[in-house]
Structure 1
Amino acid sequence: MKTRKFGVIIGALFFILTSLSCSKSDSPQPADTRTSAEVEADFQALDLTAGTHDFAILSKVSNEWNFRLIVPESASATNKRPLIVNLHGASGGDTNAHKTTSCYAEPGFASLDPIILSPNAGAQLWISTRNQEMVLTLIELSVKYLPVDTSKIVITGYSNGGNGAWFFSETQPSIFSAGIPMASSYNTFGTDGNARKINTPLYEIHGENDEHFPLEETQAWIEATNNAGSNVTLKVAEGLTHNEPCEYVPYVENAADWLVNEIW
Structure 2
Amino acid sequence: MTRRILSAALVAALGICATGAAHADQMAMTSTATVKNDLKYLMYTPNGYETSNDSYPLVVWLHGGDQGGGDIEKVKSSGMPKLIQDGKQFPFLVFSPQNPSAELLYPIEKVEAALEEVISKYRVDRSRIYVVGYSRGGFGAWAMAEQFPHKFAAVVPIAGGGNRHYLSRTNEKAAFWVFHGTDDDVILLSDSVIMYERLKALKRDARLSVLEGVDHSNIERAALSDPELWDWLLKQRLDAAPK
The two structures have a TM-score, normalised by structure 2, of 0.70
* 1:259 matched residue in structure 2: 233
Among 89, 103, 108, which residue is 2:78 paired with? 103
After TM superposition, give the deviation of residue 160 of structure 1 in Å. 0.8
Among 125, 130, 153, which residue is 1:149 paired with? 125
Higher helix share: 2
Over 3 Å counting, the alpha-carbon distance change for 1:103 and 1:250 in structure 2 is same
**Cα deviations by residue, 1:98-127 (Å, 9 ceiling, x for unpaired):** 74346332549x57411111111112312x
* 1:49 matched residue in structure 2: none
Alpha-carbon separation, structure 2, partners of 1:111 and 1:263: 21
Matched, 1:196 2:172: no
Contact kept? 2:147, 2:169, Cα under 8 Å: no
* 1:184 matched residue in structure 2: 160
* 2:45 matched residue in structure 1: 71
* 1:116 matched residue in structure 2: 94
After TM superposition, give the deviation of residue 149 of structure 1 in Å. 1.3
Max Rg structure = 2
Among 91, 94, 105, which residue is 1:125 paired with? 105
Contact kept? 1:197, 1:226, Cα under 8 Å: no
Please list every run of 5 or more consecutive structure 2 residues that lacks an aligned counterpart in the other structure. 1-28, 239-243
- Give 3-state SS (helix, strand or coil) of 1:100's partner: helix
* 2:225 matched residue in structure 1: 250
- Give 3-state SS (helix, strand or coil) of 2:140's partner: helix
Over 3 Å counting, the alpha-carbon distance change for 1:148 and 1:100 in structure 2 is same
Contact kept? 1:196, 1:228, Cα under 8 Å: yes
After TM superposition, give the deviation of residue 88 of structure 1 in Å. 1.1
Please list every run of 5 or more consecutive structure 1 residues that lacks an aligned counterpart in the other structure. 1-17, 23-28, 30-59
Alpha-carbon separation, structure 2, partners of 1:231 and 1:217: 18
Contact kept? 1:179, 1:201, Cα under 8 Å: yes
* 2:147 matched residue in structure 1: 171
Among 199, 202, 211, which residue is 2:185 paired with? 211
**Cα deviations by residue, 1:18-61 (Å, 9 ceiling, x for unpaired):** 96x69xxxxxx5xxxxxxxxxxxxxxxxxxxxxxxxxxxxxx54
Moved more, 224-233 or 90-99: 90-99
* 1:234 matched residue in structure 2: 208
Over 3 Å counting, the alpha-carbon distance change for 1:242 and 1:146 in structure 2 is same
Count of aligned positions:
200
Alpha-carbon separation, structure 2, partners of 1:74 and 1:179: 26
Alpha-carbon separation, structure 2, partners of 1:213 and 1:153: 26
Moved more, 201-210 or 216-225: 216-225
Please give the root-mean-square deviation of Cα atoms over the aligned residues, in Å. 2.9
Contact kept? 1:157, 1:164, Cα under 8 Å: yes
After TM superposition, give the deviation of residue 217 of structure 1 in Å. 3.9
Over 3 Å counting, the alpha-carbon distance change for 1:99 and 1:78 in structure 2 is farther
Over 3 Å counting, the alpha-carbon distance change for 1:151 and 1:92 in structure 2 is closer
The one-letter code sitting in structure 2 at the alignment partner of 1:169 is A
Contact kept? 2:128, 2:237, Cα under 8 Å: no
- Give 3-state SS (helix, strand or coil) of 2:165's partner: coil
